[in-house]
Amino acid sequence: PGIYVCAKCGHELFSSRAKYEHSSPWPAFTDTVREDSVAKRKERPGALKVSCGKCGNGLGHEFLNDGPKRGQSRF
């Protein structure tokens, strides 16, 4: 339990309350701690490139409509 932070700068990104089991080998989250926790840019249809909202460190992707509930995204 707790808050996941950026490995580069320590900025708060995700809460363990938003973590869920997914078939991918990486941790999956439904939401960020705050709206400015991450920066996003469109990479391809259905996926946004995600980086730390403070230092720009690459974090992976937000997959739109791929969360545990209909309409939710997966980080």
Q: What is the pLDDT of residue 24?
A: 86
CA distance 18 to 10: 18
Q: What is the pLDDT of residue 40?
A: 96
CA distance 68 to 64: 11
Q: Report CA-CA distances (Å) from 51 to 2, 5, 56, 70.
A: 20, 12, 5, 24
Give residue-wise pLDDT tens across range 23-75. 989 899 999 999 999 999 999 999 999 999 999 999 999 999 999 999 999 99
pTM summary value: 0.87
Q: Which domains does the chain have, with CATH numbers?
A: 3-63 (2.170.150.20)
**Section 1-28 average pLDDT:** 94
Which class for 59: exposed (0-12), middle (13-18), buried (19 or more C-beta within 10 A)? buried
Q: What is the pLDDT of residue 2?
A: 95
